[in-house]
Structure formats: C-alpha cells, structure tokens
Structure 1
Amino acid sequence: MVDVLTAPQHVKADSSLRTLAAISVAHWVSHFHIFVLPMLFPYLKVQLGVGYIELGFALTVFGLVSALTQAPIGYLADHIGARKVLLIGLCVGGLALILLGMNLSYTSLIVCAALLGLANSVYHPCDYAILSTHMDEARMGRAFSIHTFAGFLGGAVAPIIMASLVTMLSGLGALIVAGAVGPVVALLLIVVGIPDASSADRKTDGAPAPQQSVITPAIIMLMFFFMLLGLSNAGISNFGIVALMSGYGVTFSAANIALTAFLGASAAGVLAGGYLADRTTRHGQVAAACFGINALIMLVIATTTLPSVVLTAAMGIAGFLGGVIAPSRDMLVRNAAPPGAAGRAFGIVSTGFNFSGILSPLLFGWIMDQQMPHWVFGASVAFMVLTVLLALITDRKPKTRSEGPVAGLEPRF
C-alpha cells in the first residue's frame, strides 16, 4: 500500500477518494440489510405461521443487540483496527441472512435478527474512524455527507430490490442473495485496499498515541443529542402517514406524497449539509438553527390543517433541513473525540440512535392508540426544541487534530 505521508499529491487524493467510495458502499450495505427482513414480513408471516407481533419481536431483538454492542464495538475497533472489524461485520450480517434462507424457522429468524444487530453496530464506529483519519480536513464535512447519503440510498432502494428478488427467486432465494452482498462487498474492500484507522493514529516516531478517556461530558451529551435526533424524526417517518390520515383528513395518496417529500429532501439536504459543514466551525449552531426552523414547521403542522400542496412543501423543507444537520452532527462528534478514539466516540454516541429506535415505536404507538394523532407532530416539536438546546450546549470550537491526514491532501468530491 502507498505510504500516505510520502506519496505524491495526486496519489493521496486518489487514495482518499477510493477510501471514501469503499466506505460509502459499506454504509449502503448496512442500511440495505436493515430493511431486508421488514420487506419480507408478508412472506415470513405465511411461511412461519406467526403474527406481526412475533415478527416485530425480531426487530426488537435487532435494536437491542445493536444498542448494547455499539459502544463495545467502538472500543474493539480502536483496539484491533476499524478495518478488520468492518470486514467481519459485513460478513456476519451477510451470513446471517444466508443461513436464514437455508434454514427458515422462527428460531433462525431471531438468531438472524440478533446477528444483524451485531453486524449493524460496526458501521458507525468503523466507518467514521476510517474517514476521520484519512479524509482531507478541509473536506471532512462533504466526506461525511456522502457517506450518510449512501446509507439513505441503501434504505431507499431496499424495497424495490427485495420485491424484484422475491419475484425472480422466491423469498428464500431473496434472503440468500441479499445476504451474499455483505461478503462480496467485504471482498471488494479488501481488493480496494482500504486503510486502517489505527495506522493513522500513531505518532510519527512509531510509538502508539497516548490513550485518553473517551467518556467525557461532551460525548455523553452528544449521545443524548443523537437520541433526541432519532426521536424527533422517528414519529414523522414511521407514524406520519397514519397520523395525517386519522387526524387531519389527509388522503392516503397525499400523506404518502408528503412523507416522500420529507424523506427525499432529507437525502438532498445531507449532500448540501456537507458543503456547509466544511465552511463553518460552528456545527452546533448550524444544527440548532435548522432544527429550530423545523420545530416551527412541525408546530404549524401539528396545530393546523394545511392544504395538500402546502403540507407537502412544508414537509419537504423540514426534511431538507433535517438532512443538512447530519454532517454537522458528525463533525460535532469528531471534534469531541480524543485523538485515536474516533471509533469509541462514534460507537458511544450512536447508541443514542439505537435507544431512540427502541423507544420511539412504543411512544408514538401509544400516542396513536390514545387517538392523539396531532401529538405525533407535537411530540416531535418537543424533541426538536430539546435538540436545539443540546446542540448549542455541545457546540465547541474544533481542536487541532494532529492525527489527521497531512496538509495538502485535497481529494475532489
């Protein structure tokens, strides 16, 4: 592998772009695998003879395992190398689906969900650790945004891919092919030669960088920040359609269009947010401003009945601003992480997302059971306001990072 410290400028840039592309593909796989089982629920329900409660329990197992292992995986990535852990995660997630396709039973489904949750816990700690140490500092925000966009894309195309695979190969074949994507991408990353984050976290004299505690007030606050981000978006994404239909008299078609605008604009906002994150050091203020506007938009939706066109536009603006926040969110974590501890830092704060995934179905499901659909948006407003406050508290000027790439490394994104 080319030595990044002595290679010519164009070689360094090519290496960084290759690393970004490879890590983004891995993130695509992570989001694609998250949606494989839900997309096959109708098939699994018939084949296994179970109800949706039993199928939903599999997703609960997935969320719990991912939540409990996210932080330990971050420590493991910093200890033995993010590259190795990422490759193992891709293979474990893929093999879990392959084995389910080869031996379909409810027990196998639960085991598969647990292994998928374990595999899912590797992506944020490992991906961000590698990107944080091998991307150009001046373009770090854009690198994070492309990585996040790739994940959004994986979730967006999962339904059509799984539907096509079921049509061509049946449900079992679809599971096996979807699982095979993991090991194939792991092999691709080996061929590409992605670097290891740990190799960039050493002193120039070859001695290991001094270890610092990653459990800091800033990291703990960011974990809660991530949890609030997840809670504020989960109600809209998962219960927005039923809330609009039952509480506002919106048709199924109009509600779907509004949610599509929200999700589609989020993906576009992520890319725009990458450029913004590279042009400011006040990432907390960016997040606070975007979510402050979002809170106002959601308050209007919660308290009034808007025409379909206006509702769609409002949801689109909210989605775009929510996407803009993502790169700034990631930069906040990177700036708060001690040198050589990016894997642990992202592992800990990403646990907040996992907890929101466990709590949000219970909370917003209870709200809908109480026939209070307006509070799907009202509760999101409350979480957004809390997110604004935490964003301002966690906003810190970035420290000088000696462990990053050498100056002049400028890949074109």
Structure 2
Amino acid sequence: MGLIGLDPVARSQWTPSRVRRTSVVTVGLLMGIYVIDYIDRVMIAMALPFIGAEFALGKTEQGWLITIFSLVYLVFQIPGGYLADRFGSRRLLLASLLSWSVFTALSGVVRGFVALLVVRALFGIGQALFPGASFKAISERTTPDRRATATGLMLSSNFLGAGLGPLVVAPVLMVFGWRHTFWIVALGGVLIAVLLWTLLPRPLPRRLTVDEADGPDTEAGPAPSGAASLRAVLRTGAVWKFAALFCATNMLSYGMITWIPSYLLEERGISLVQTGVLAAIPFLVMSVCVFLGGWLFDRYFSQRARVFAIPVLAAAAVMLVLMLRAGTTAEFTLYQTLAMGIAGLSFMCVLGMPIRALPTAVVASGMGVVNVGGQLAGVLAPVVMGFLVDRFSYTAAFGFLIVSTVAAALIAIFVPQRPSEFAMATQPGQKEHA
C-alpha cells in the first residue's frame, strides 16, 4: 500500500518508514499482551491438579473452572468488539489489561470452589474486552497487504504464551504454590498495561488501511455507527461462517491447553517440571506456524484460502490419529507437536480473511462475532473432554479433537475464499453476497 491519494502534508508525515514503524510497534505491544494472556490461561490448567486436590474436585468440576471463563468470555465478545468500535482500541486494551490483572490476583485469594468459579467468570469479562480491541488496533495501524502477516504474528504470541506458560508456571508453582503464582502473573499484566498506554502509536490515515484491489472501497462515504454498525455485522452471513470455522479449529488448542498437563502427570507418570517442558513444545512450534501461515496467506493464498486450509486441516487430523496410537511419551509429544503445528498454518485462513475484508469502522464488532465461534470451542472442549475422561478415558477425549478437526476441514469448503466474496450489508435491507 503506497502513499498515493494522501495530500502532500500527509505524505510527508506518513513516510513508508513511519508506516512500518507504526505496524511493528503495535504488533510488538499486542504480542506482549497476548503472551501474558495465555500464560494466565495455561496457569489455571497447570494448577488444576493442585486446585482439585485442595477443593476435592473431580475432572468434570475442574473442567468447569476453564469452561466458566470461556462461557463468559464468549458472551462478551460481541459487546467487547462493539465497545472497541465505539470508544477506540487504546481505551479498551487498557481496561482489559487492568481488569484481568485484578481478577488474576483475586484467583489466588479465594477459599472455595464456588468463589473461584465467580472470580474466573469476572476474569472472563476482563479478557473478553481484549480480542476485538486488538483486531481493531491491527486494522487501524497496518496496511491491507501485510495485515494477515501482522495478525499472524500477533496471534502466534497466543501459542508462544501457551508454550512459555508451562515452562514459567511449573517452577513457580513448585516454589511458591498455586496461589502466589496467580499474584506474580497479575503483576506482569499491570506492567505491560503501563507500556501499552505509553507506547501505542496513533492510527494510520484511513486511506492507508483500505485496499481497492480487494474490491469496492467499503469505507467510502459515512460508515454506519453505533447500533446500526452492529446490526450490519450481524446480518453478514460470511462473518458467521468464519465463526463456525473458528469454533471447529479452536477445539484443538483449547483441548490441548486444558488436558495435556493432567494427562502427562496422571497417565504418563512424569514430574511436574517434565510436564511443563513437554506441554510447552507443541505450543512453541504452533506459534511459529501461525506466523508462517499468516505470511503464506498474504503472499500466496489471500485469493484462494480454501486451497490452503482444507488439506492442512486434514493433515492435522491424521497426525492426531497417530498421536492416539503412540506407545511412548516422546512419540505422543512428537505427533501432538506435528498436529498442532500443521493446524497452526490454517489459522490465518480462518482469521486473516475477515480482518482484511471487514471495514475498519466495524472490524472489532465483526471479529468479535468470529471470536464467538472460537470461544465456543473454549466452552465446549474443556468440559466435554473432562466428561469423556471421567466416563471413558483420555483416548476418548483426544478422539473428540480428531472429530472437530475433520469438521473444520468440511466447514472450510463453504466459507468465502477471497475478500471480493466477503460482501457486508452496510445499509438497511442490503443483502450480503458471500
């Protein structure tokens, strides 16, 4: 995206180097926040055996500690996106960081299962403000031709955090116990909130955030605002198709984050520190693959997303089958790593298309809807897999992930595969064409 179309003063201010710097600083800050975010999520999974022992909880009840967060997180995705479109990404990012840090700290204070459920629900509200605001920040501060790469880099830090989480949390749990571990991570959230408020650049001019090569300029003229913009998003069928696809693909990561630590401790009989290392490896690999998938999408597949997504998801399902047949812990971790790395390549086919195609004025609301699908996976996977472990076995629980990954490959057949097919209704009575 060049600077043609801007007035001379704007062109002199927004040089290519400044545009790149704006993108780099924005993505770097958001990556730091997502790392803390996912360390928070991994922390509760690593602490589940200790919380379960202290409160005398079964696996299904332990699963509800993850699911209650995910359920509230899901419900507040669309309101969070709407608030980001209404009040701006900077304010919502800061509010999210500070609130989730408070509730992380409170998680280490509670003395009963019900109280912990309530705190985890409030924690979910705080974190739900973040995704829509982060997608809006990316949309406002990157050019379309590099947006999937930037988004892939930002979201790769999800899995970087999920990978670093066990390595960081396991030793801290051993030394300080699960309650103090929550307080330490909460302090990290407060520190990065200060950095965000201080360093986040101002948005690019709107002319730089629209790509006419992807179709008509959806930003031309006055954009709908407030409730009208949200109604337009909710009428857009393509958004809901991507929400369904994100739900199916995200089962894998939520299922692995929640139950791999318990599986390695209880079924494979390895130590907590070894569990941390083995649980980290697949997510570290996945973080690299999510970024690589974003680059490949921008470079080769932005006009033919299905060609990439369907075979990749099918290959991930095959790796999960081999994982279930593994005889040793090393073999299990190898196939788990391959499955998650391959699946990670598909993430930007799921998220890169809508963030590129949606108008900046409503991108947070639209991605909030898409993220509802992703977080529905967070509601279902922990408790369904917990139930399957209690009723049958870990084999049955991981088999559920094979089914969901195959379902994702099938859903990918029906989603738009290029931005020009992602038509959004912006006026009352207008129909989308995707």
Q: TM-score, normalised by structure 1?
A: 0.80
Alignment of 1:7-406 (within 5 A): 7-41=14-48, 50-53=55-58, 56-101=63-108, 104-106=110-112, 109-163=116-170, 165=172, 173-195=180-202, 208-211=222-225, 212=229, 213-215=232-234, 216-235=236-255, 238-239=258-259, 262-279=282-299, 280-281=301-302, 282-302=304-324, 312-371=333-392, 373-399=394-420
Alpha carbons of structure 1 residues 286 and 251: separation in structure 2 relative to 1, 3 Å: farther
- Per the TM alignment, residue 163 of structure 1 is displaced from its structure 2 partner at its CA by 4.8
- Per the TM alignment, residue 315 of structure 1 is displaced from its structure 2 partner at its CA by 3.4
Partners of 1:345 and 1:251 in 2: how far apart? 44
- Per the TM alignment, residue 122 of structure 1 is displaced from its structure 2 partner at its CA by 1.9
Q: Write the deviation string for residues 160-200 of structure 1: whole angstroms up to 9, x where unpaired.
A: 43455556766555433321222221211111034369978
Letter in 2 for 1:32: I
Comparing 282-291 with 193-202, which one deviates more in the overlay?
A: 193-202
Q: Write the deviation string for residues 362-413 of structure 1: whole angstroms up to 9, x where unpaired.
A: 3323333443654444433322222112112113311499xxxxxxxxxxxx
Q: Is the 8 A contact 1:83 1:196 kept in 2?
A: no
2:6 is aligned to: none
In the alignment of these two chains, the number of paired residues is: 393
- Per the TM alignment, residue 255 of structure 1 is displaced from its structure 2 partner at its CA by 9.9
Letter in 2 for 1:68: V
Q: Is the 8 A contact 1:30 1:123 kept in 2?
A: no
Alpha carbons of structure 1 residues 121 and 39: separation in structure 2 relative to 1, 3 Å: same
1:404 is aligned to: none
Q: Write the deviation string for residues 297-347 of structure 1: whole angstroms up to 9, x where unpaired.
A: 334555x56677765544333222111112222112224534421111111
Identity of aligned residues (%): 20
Comparing 292-301 with 165-174, which one deviates more in the overlay?
A: 165-174
Partners of 1:294 and 1:137 in 2: how far apart? 29
- Per the TM alignment, residue 129 of structure 1 is displaced from its structure 2 partner at its CA by 1.3
Secondary structure at 2:55's aligned position in 1? coil
Secondary structure at 2:342's aligned position in 1? helix
- Per the TM alignment, residue 154 of structure 1 is displaced from its structure 2 partner at its CA by 2.0
Alpha carbons of structure 1 residues 240 and 161: separation in structure 2 relative to 1, 3 Å: closer
Alpha carbons of structure 1 residues 166 and 237: separation in structure 2 relative to 1, 3 Å: closer
> Structure 1: any 5+ residue segments left out of the alignment?
402-413
Q: Write the deviation string for residues 226-248 of structure 1: whole angstroms up to 9, x where unpaired.
A: 111122444455456888999xx
Q: Write the deviation string for residues 190-214 of structure 1: whole angstroms up to 9, x where unpaired.
A: 11034369978899x9975235511
1:406 is aligned to: none
- Per the TM alignment, residue 292 of structure 1 is displaced from its structure 2 partner at its CA by 1.6
Partners of 1:257 and 1:174 in 2: how far apart? 18
Alpha carbons of structure 1 residues 206 and 91: separation in structure 2 relative to 1, 3 Å: farther
Comparing 276-285 with 367-376, which one deviates more in the overlay?
A: 367-376
- Per the TM alignment, residue 112 of structure 1 is displaced from its structure 2 partner at its CA by 2.5
Q: Is the 8 A contact 1:267 1:323 kept in 2?
A: yes
Secondary structure at 2:369's aligned position in 1? helix
Partners of 1:321 and 1:288 in 2: how far apart? 11
Letter in 2 for 1:290: V
Partners of 1:275 and 1:385 in 2: how far apart? 24
> Structure 2: any 5+ residue segments left out of the alignment?
1-8, 211-216, 423-434
Letter in 1 for 2:318: L
Q: TM-score, normalised by structure 2?
A: 0.77
Q: Is the 8 A contact 1:89 1:119 kept in 2?
A: yes
Secondary structure at 1:395's aligned position in 2? coil
